[in-house]
Amino acid sequence: MEIKSAEFIISNTDWRKCPDTQLAEFAFIGRSNVGKSSLINMLTNRKGLAMTSSKPGKTLLINHFIINKEWFLVDLPGYGYASTGKVMREKLHKIIENYILFRPQLTNLFVLIDCRLEPQQIDTEFMEWLGVSDVPFSIVFTKTDKLSKSKLAENLGIYRQKLFETWEELPPILVTSAKTASGKEELLNYIELIIKGL
C-alpha cells in the first residue's frame, strides 16, 4: 500500500473523545521504548510525525494519525515503565485498557516486542489478556537492525516456542526495523488486506 498522506489529528486520554468517525483504527502497543512511535514514522515515511525519545515514557496520550484520509494509525503510551510511578502507571494503564476494550473502531492491535529480549512476562500476560478479551492482535518484532540474521532467527524461534506454551495457534507475526525500514511493505500490505476484508 502506498502512503499518500499522513496527518496528526488529535491527542486524547479518553477513547470517547477520539475522532468521531467510523474509519478503521490500527493501534500500536507495547513496553515503553520498544519503538511504537518510531514504527509509525517509518511506516508513514515522516520522521517527526509521532514523537520519539531515547528515554522511555515519551508517549502519554492516545494519538490519532489519519492515513490517506481513509484510516487511522494510533500511537499509544507504553506499558511497564517502572520510573513513571504507581499513580501515573495506573492512570496510563486505564487509558490504554479502556481504548482497547471500548473503542469499536479499533480494527487490529499491533503488540510490539523488542527482538533482542527473551520473552517478558509483562508482554505474554498482556497478550493473554487480549485473547480472553477477544481483541484481534498481531505481534510486531522491532529493532531487528540490532541483531544478526542468525541471532534474530534464534530469538524468534524461542519466542514462538514460549507462545506455544499458552496458545494453540499463533497470531500473525511481523518483523521490522524502524531504522532500516525492513518489514515496511509487509506491515502496510497486511493492514491493506485487513481494510479490504472489512
Ligand X SMILES: Nc1nc2c(ncn2[C@@H]2O[C@H](COP(=O)(O)OP(=O)(O)OP(=O)(O)O)[C@@H](O)[C@H]2O)c(=O)[nH]1
Please give the residue ranges that form the binding site for ligand X (CB under 6 A): 32-38, 52-54, 56-59, 77-78, 142-143, 145-146, 177-179
Question: Between 166 and 180, whose beta carbon lies closer to ligand X?
Answer: 180
Binding track over 44-73 against Mg ion, x by CB under 5 A: --------------xx--------------
Question: Between 97 and 195, whose beta carbon lies closer to ligand X?
Answer: 97
Near Mg ion in 20-49, by CB under 5 A: 36-37
Instruction: Tell me the closest approach of the beta carbon of residue 33 to ligand X, in angstroms.
Output: 5
- In the numeric block, the cell 494510533 is attached to 74
Question: Between 98 and 182, whose beta carbon lies closer to ligand X?
Answer: 182
Is-contact 121 160, C-beta < 8 A? no
Cell for 34?
A: 520498544
Instruction: Tell me the closest approach of the beta carbon of residue 94 to Mg ion, in angstroms.
Output: 18
Q: How far is CA 185 from CA 45, 46, 65, 119, 190, in A?
A: 12, 15, 19, 26, 8
Classify residue 32 by burial, with Cβ atoms within 10 Å: 0-12, 13-18, 19+: buried
The residue number whose beta carbon is nearest to Mg ion equals 59
Beta strand residue intervals within the chain, DSSP E: 6-12, 25-30, 62-67, 71-75, 106-114, 137-142, 173-175
* Residue 184 is a binding residue for Mg ion (CB under 5 A): no
Question: Between 152 and 178, whose beta carbon lies closer to ligand X?
Answer: 178
Binding track over 112-151 against Mg ion, x by CB under 5 A: ----------------------------------------
CA 66 to chain centre: 16
Question: Between 52 and 108, whose beta carbon lies closer to Mg ion?
Answer: 52
Instruction: Tell me the closest approach of the beta carbon of residue 174 to ligand X, in angstroms.
Output: 13
Say how far apart CA 180 and CA 35 lie, in whole Å. 13
Q: How many CB atoms lie within 10 A of CB 60?
A: 16
Residues that bind Mg ion (CB under 5 A): 36-37, 58-59
